[in-house]
Structures are given as C-alpha cells and as structure tokens.
Amino acid sequence: MAEQQNGDAPVLVLRDLVKHYQVPGGTVRSVDGVDLVIGRGEIVGLVGESGSGKSTIGKMAVALISPSSGSVELDGVDLAALPKRRVRAMRKRFNIVFQDPGSSINPRTTVGDAISEPLRIHRIVPRRRIDERVAELLEQVGLRPDTAARYPHELSGGQRQRVSLARALAAGPELLVADEPTSALDVSVQASVLNLVADLQQNLGFACLFISHDLSAIEYLADRIAVMYLGRIVEVADRRDLFERPMHPYTDVLLQAAPVADPVEQRGRERVVLRGEIPSPMNPPSGCSFHPRCPLATEVCRTTEPALRTVQRADGRTAQVACHLVGDDGVRAALPAESVPVG
C-alpha cells in the first residue's frame, strides 16, 4: 500500500477542527479540536465509539457541514473559508460514501443516472461518452454494465454500496471519505466490499479517510489509524504500531475489547473491561476526558487536559498521543492485569 510520501504535500489537513451544536440545555461538543493529516494515496482509519464524532469529522472533511471553527484544507485551500460556489466546483476532487445503503441512493433515479450525475455536473466526459464511462465504472466495482438500467430498490445492500462507490469515484477524486461503508452489511458481504475498497484504492491511488467502529476492518485497510474519544483524537499511529503497542489507555482497552477468532485463546485472555458509559459530549469531564474510566488515571489527568503531542518510539517511528502517562518515547505503564471470565 502507498506510504505517505515525504516532501509531497498532504491531500487533506484538518486543523483544530471544532463542531459544537447548540441544543436546548447546553452545547454538544461533537468535535472538539481535531488535527489530522491525510497524505496523498494514504488510507487513514478513524475509529471510535458511536457518538465520538467520527461521522461529523467525515462530513466536515467533504464540506457537507461547516465547522464551528478550525480549517479543512484540501491541497492547502481552506474549504471552510471558501464561498459556496467555489466549494461546489472543487467537489469533483473529494467525495463520500455513506453507511446506510438503503437511503444513500435517490430511489427515483436509475443506477446509471446516479453514477453519471457527478460526470454530468462537472462535465468530466462528453455527453455521448457518459454511458460508456458508467459501464466502465460499474465494471470497476464488480457490477454488470446492465445494472445501469436498474433502480436501487432492485439491488442488495452490497450491490448498492458498490453503486455508491462507483458514484463517489466517478469524477476521479483525490480523497474519498468512507463513513462506515460496511457497517450496515452482512458479515459475508462486508469482506467483499472491503476488498473492493482496497483494490480500487490501489488501482486509482486516491487518499481515503475510512471511518469505522470495526477494528478488524480498520486493521485490514488502513495505513495509519486515528483513535477518537469524545470529540478528540487521542492517538494516531501506523497500523502495526497501534495494534502491537497501543499507547493511549483507551486504545489499549479498545483493542482488548475486540474478540479473537480462536475460542481457546479468547477464553484465556486477560482483559481490562471498561466501567461506565462514554460520557455525554454535552458535559465532558474535566482534564483528560477519559479519566473517569481510565484504570491508570492520576491527579493530573483529572485537572489538566492532555494535548496531542508527537512521540518518538524506540524504533525511530513517530506517532501522536494525548495522554499524560505516556512518555516521550511512547512508553506507558501496563494496565493493571485483571482476568475476566468470558462466557
């Protein structure tokens, strides 16, 4: 897979991105100061519990909602500061695939119309070549060209996600945001859609922000992974580093929560199980927002908010983490061992 090329400017830079919603009774801090860089041709996985603000980031990255503050820079151009008309012209360079295959395609249009819409809007190919291009795109996502004449309700969920992918990639974007594209699908179909995303990315070379709560999907696909908790990014690391040596206690617990395929191993595993629920983003805890659930929390965690800082591991690779307890070498005390019987 493509590594982030040094010296090559990143496709997308999110800088101190904030989205607050005013609701009766207070402010929901859906996204509360997020920095993230996505390199050209890189797949960045964004993982977190529901309500952590993943989807909000995805929608801000493709200018579907505007940030309360901060910037979304595509090739150095801040989308949030651009007039609507200019943003619209730039939309051929980024697109999004949504989670629910049932509602993400207009039920009144044919598959062909859905896929060709970006081509027509941005005049990517001449009118007489549109059908040809649609057939190409359909084949690229593993569907037969005659699917173009069908309506979304005639297709299965997996087929619809393929159509959504074809549509999102029709204009040849540099960046694709995939917002839980497999979460609503059957497990058997999930794998084939994940494979498709990987193949397409390799062939077309677009950068991808892959949002999911499914760790195995993220592990399969992502070059780099960002972990979110309550509107903030708590850790960013290369895939292998994150899975082998998680730095943030939350990442650690999250990985331990994911089941292992081998039942014998699964039964014998020592796991730290989190107590309590994710706090309300309307009233986040003081200091580190994870401290009420963190088994290692100390006084400083309760009072001071940790910034996302860069650490250099012993092997020389860098990563980012927002935790007081992680040293500049990326090392932290182990979580207290606690054997949890698994039913």
- Site residues (CB under 8 A) for another protein? 59, 62, 64, 88-89, 91-92, 95-96, 98-100, 103-108, 110, 117-118, 121-122, 141-144, 146-147, 149-151, 153-154, 156, 158-159, 162, 164, 167-168, 171, 192, 195-196, 199
Cβ proximity to another protein: between 57 and 311 the closer is: 57
SS3 104: coil
Contact between 160 and 189 under an 8 Å Cβ cutoff? The reply is no
Enumerate the β-bridge partners of residue 210.
Answer: 45, 178
Q: Are strands 207-212 and 224-229 parallel, antiparallel or unpaired?
A: unpaired
Question: Which C-beta is closer to another protein: that of 128 or that of 153?
Answer: 153
Per the CB < 8 A criterion, the answer to whether 208 and 179 are in contact is: no
Question: At closest approach, how far in Å is the CB of 273 from another protein?
Answer: 34
Nearest approach in angstroms of CB 178 to another protein is: 12
- Residue 241 CB, nearest approach to another protein (Å): 27
Tell me how far apart the alpha carbons of residues 292 and 44 are, in angstroms, rounded to a whole number: 28
| Nearest-approach distance from CB 265 to another protein, in angstroms | 27
Distance CA 105, CA 25 (A): 35
**What is d(CA 334, CA 343) in angstroms, rounded to the nearest whole number?**
25
Q: Tell me whether residue 150 or residue 313 sits nearer to another protein (CB atom).
A: 150
CA distances from 274 to 141, 152, 161 (A): 40, 41, 34
Contact 209, 154 (CB under 8 A): no
Residues forming a β-bridge with 34: 17
Residue 240 CB, nearest distance to another protein (Å)?
Answer: 23
- In the complex, the smallest distance separating the C-beta of residue 30 from another protein, rounded to whole angstroms, is 16
> What distances in angstroms separate CA 260 from CA 7, 149, 220, 323, one per listed residue?
39, 43, 15, 27
Between residues 189 and 230, which has the closer beta carbon with respect to another protein? 189
CB nearer to another protein: pick between 175 and 294: 175
Which CB sits closer to another protein, 79 or 234?
A: 79
